[in-house]
């Protein structure tokens, strides 16, 4: 069987971080590019004439003027919230109590968890997302369901059991000890198995007692190659609540720091309303922050200072935050990131937006040596973007003078119709039935 595949198109190539230096030095698009895949790896990225000559035996997939990019990496999602995405009228705490917790309760049924995991992953792939870092529910079966469904699809994913031992309804609380024990058993089962990585996951300080945060901090110290994901400083009312629950803490971040939940493999979602001390500490420790722009406007949270945080060299990822976010699409998420940056006085360049959705998110998850970049030695998770996927986009890109102007309307107005093809671990995905 021929294991070499040659994909021809325009190629999105990165060699640095366009958030911390000139984007022109970090990102380029080769208008006559090609990617050579062997088994599940990218083996070369070069001009199409060169690779046609050097790999004459490869199966050729000619994508014309479509853009070949790394698959999108969604750095913060809640797959159990798939069925309640776009729920009306609430801000964070009411939204959790009204919509989220009742739905998460349903995942105590492993069959329902499997159904939602499959539905979520198929929707994500339809939208060009090949890797995500997901929360689950308190039920260990929800973690198994997710990793099993991801393995069936060959996807690289990160997830962990969401731990909560207070301020959640009956049936949706564990304890400090059971959170520790179940997380430990799950990470032993999944961390490093195939393409799975485990993230120790206290939901957020309001739903964990100090004892639970300490137990999970101790677990992370035992397994430091795991990520640790949680939420930080999303809404003012939430921050006030944290202040009441942790009267001795210096700030929200300190509620994690005091329990060993900070470090360079920490991934904090939202991080909108940060104090200077928190920013300094995050920058010092190398922890990553994840921008969830559709969620931050949908739930009414606020405008994250992406450009300012980037100047502190804090690793930044981009995420849908399904289902607090209002879309499964990283294209729609880039549009929201652009709009929020504009409201803060910065115009993010399309090169920066695309980087955040691929290599930047991969870096925030410590997966940047494996995914998120089109280069030799990377895993072959690729998507093909049609840059004229709707009449509205096509008529705008037809007027473009540069490739970036051609791409930008797809970032602003594109959706799953722009995803012309998806490759996962070197395998072309069959067209979705949906
Ligand atoms: N904070 C704690 N849990 C959640 C959640 O499920 N979604 C969002 N957006 N914020 C949270
Ligand atoms: Zn979240």
pLDDT digits (tens, 9 = 90+) for 92-107: 999 999 999 999 999 9
The reported pLDDT for the residue numbered 434 is 39
The reported pLDDT for the residue numbered 150 is 98
Which residue's C-alpha comes closest to atom 7 of ligand 1?
A: 324
Query: pLDDT tens digit string along 251-296?
Result: 999 999 999 999 999 999 999 999 999 999 999 999 999 999 999 9
Answer yes or no: is pLDDT of 297 > 50: yes
Query: pLDDT tens digit string along 342-352?
Result: 999 999 999 99
CA of 301, nearest ligand number: 1
The reported pLDDT for the residue numbered 16 is 96
The reported pLDDT for the residue numbered 1 is 59
CATH class of 4-71+372-429: mainly beta
Average pLDDT rounded to a whole number, residues 126-147: 99
Residue 324 CA to ligand 1 centre (angstroms): 7
Answer yes or no: is pLDDT of 430 > 80: no
Q: Please, are residues 228 and 265 in contact by the beta-carbon 8 Å criterion? A: yes
The reported pLDDT for the residue numbered 433 is 41
Look up the pTM and report it.
Answer: 0.98
Average pLDDT rounded to a whole number, residues 41-46: 98
Answer yes or no: is pLDDT of 432 > 90: no
pLDDT-above-70 percentage for the chain: 99
- Strand pairing category for 157-160 and 196-202: parallel
Q: What residue ranges do the domains of the chain occupy? A: 4-71+372-429, 72-364
The encoded tokens of residue 21 equal 């230096």
CA 414, CA 232: separation in Å to the nearest integer?
A: 30
Residue 139 CA to ligand 1 centre (angstroms): 17
The reported pLDDT for the residue numbered 288 is 98
* Inter-helix orientation angle 330-343/403-413, to 10°: 100
Quick one: pLDDT band at residue 234, thresholds 50, 70, 90?
A: very high
The reported pLDDT for the residue numbered 2 is 66
The full 3-state SS of the chain, as one line of letters, equals: CCCEEEEEEEEEEECCCCCCCCHHHCEEEEEEEEEEEECCEEEEEEEHHHHHHHCCCCEEEEEEEEEEEECEEEEEEEHHHHHHCCCCCCCHHHHHHHHHHHHHHHHHCHHHHHHHHHHHHHHHHHCCEEEEEEECCCCHHHHHHHHHHHHHCCCCEEEECEECCCCCCCCCCCCHHHHHHHHHHHHHHHCCCCCEEEEEEECCHHHCCHHHHHHHHHHHHHCCCCEEEEEECCCHHHHHHHHHHCCCCCCHHHHHHCCCCCCCCEEEEECCCCCHHHHHHHHHHCCEEEECHHHHHHCCCCCCCHHHHHHCCCCEEECCCCCCCCCCCHHHHHHHHHHHHHHCCCCCCHHHHHHHHHHHHHHHCCCCCCCCCCCCCCECCEEEECCCCCHHHHHHHCCCCCHHHHHHHHHHHCCHHHEEEEEECCEECCCCCC
Answer yes or no: is pLDDT of 125 > 80: yes
CA 393, CA 25: separation in Å to the nearest integer?
A: 28
Quick one: pLDDT band at residue 24, thresholds 50, 70, 90?
A: very high
Which CATH code is given to the segment(s) 72-364? Answer: 3.20.20.140
Answer yes or no: is pLDDT of 73 > 80: yes
Ligand 1: list residues with CB < 6 Å.
78, 92, 96, 100, 203-204, 231, 234, 295, 299, 321, 324
Residue 230 CA to ligand 2 centre (angstroms): 8
Query: pLDDT tens digit string along 356-414?
Result: 999 999 999 999 999 999 999 999 999 999 999 999 999 999 999 999 999 999 999 99
Which residue's C-alpha comes closest to atom 8 of ligand 1?
A: 324
CA 322, CA 292: separation in Å to the nearest integer?
A: 9
Query: pLDDT tens digit string along 401-429?
Result: 999 999 999 999 999 999 999 999 999 99
The reported pLDDT for the residue numbered 153 is 98
Average pLDDT rounded to a whole number, residues 141-148: 99
Q: Please, are residues 313 and 20 in contact by the beta-carbon 8 Å criterion? A: yes
Which residue's C-alpha comes closest to atom 9 of ligand 1?
A: 324
The reported pLDDT for the residue numbered 91 is 97
CA 134, CA 48: separation in Å to the nearest integer?
A: 36
Number of neighbours of residue 233 by Cβ within 10 angstroms: 25
The reported pLDDT for the residue numbered 3 is 87
């Amino acid at each position: 069987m021929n294991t070499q595949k040659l994909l021809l198109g325009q190629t999105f190539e990165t060699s640095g971080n366009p958030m911390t230096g000139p984007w022109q030095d970090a990102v380029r698009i080769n208008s006559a590019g090609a990617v050579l895949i062997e088994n599940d790896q990218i083996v070369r990225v070069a001009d199409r004439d060169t690779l046609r000559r050097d790999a004459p035996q490869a199966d050729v997939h000619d994508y014309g003027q479509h853009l070949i990019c790394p698959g999108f990496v969604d750095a913060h999602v809640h797959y159990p919230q798939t069925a309640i995405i776009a729920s009306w009228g609430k801000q964070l705490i009411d939204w959790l109590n009204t919509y989220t917790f009742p739905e998460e309760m349903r995942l105590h049924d492993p069959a329902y968890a499997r159904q939602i995991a499959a539905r979520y992953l198929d929707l994500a792939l339809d939208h060009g997302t090949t890797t995500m870092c997901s929360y689950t529910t308190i039920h260990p079966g929800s973690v198994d369901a997710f990793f099993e469904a991801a393995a069936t699809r060959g996807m690289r994913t990160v997830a962990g059991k969401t731990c909560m031992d207070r301020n959640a309804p009956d049936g949706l609380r564990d304890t400090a000890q059971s959170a520790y024990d179940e997380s430990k058993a799950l990470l032993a089962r999944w961390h490093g198995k195939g393409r799975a990585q485990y993230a120790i996951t206290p939901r957020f300080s309001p739903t964990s007692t100090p004892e639970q945060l300490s137990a999970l901090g101790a677990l992370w110290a035992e397994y430091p190659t795991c990520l640790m994901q949680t939420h930080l400083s999303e809404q003012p009312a939430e921050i006030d609540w944290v202040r009441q629950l942790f009267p001795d803490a210096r700030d929200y971040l300190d509620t994690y720091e005091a329990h060993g939940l900070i470090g360079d493999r920490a991934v904090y979602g939202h991080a909108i309303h940060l104090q200077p001390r928190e920013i300094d500490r995050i920058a010092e420790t190398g922890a990553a922050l994840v921008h969830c722009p559709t969620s931050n406007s949908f739930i009414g949270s606020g405008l994250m200072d992406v450009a300012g945080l980037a100047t502190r060299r804090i690793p930044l990822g981009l995420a849908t935050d399904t289902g607090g976010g209002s879309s499964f699409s990283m294209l729609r998420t880039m549009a929201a990131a652009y709009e929020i940056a504009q409201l803060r006085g910065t115009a993010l360049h399309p090169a920066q937006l695309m980087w955040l959705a691929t290599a930047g998110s991969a870096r925030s998850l410590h997966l940047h040596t494996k995914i998120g970049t089109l280069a030799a030695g990377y895993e072959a998770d690729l998507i093909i973007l049609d840059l004229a996927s709707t009449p509205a986009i096509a008529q705008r890109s037809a007027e473009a003078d540069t490739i970036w102007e051609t791409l930008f309307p797809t970032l602003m107005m594109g959706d799953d119709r722009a995803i012309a093809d998806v490759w996962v671990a070197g395998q072309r995905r069959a067209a979705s039935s949906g």
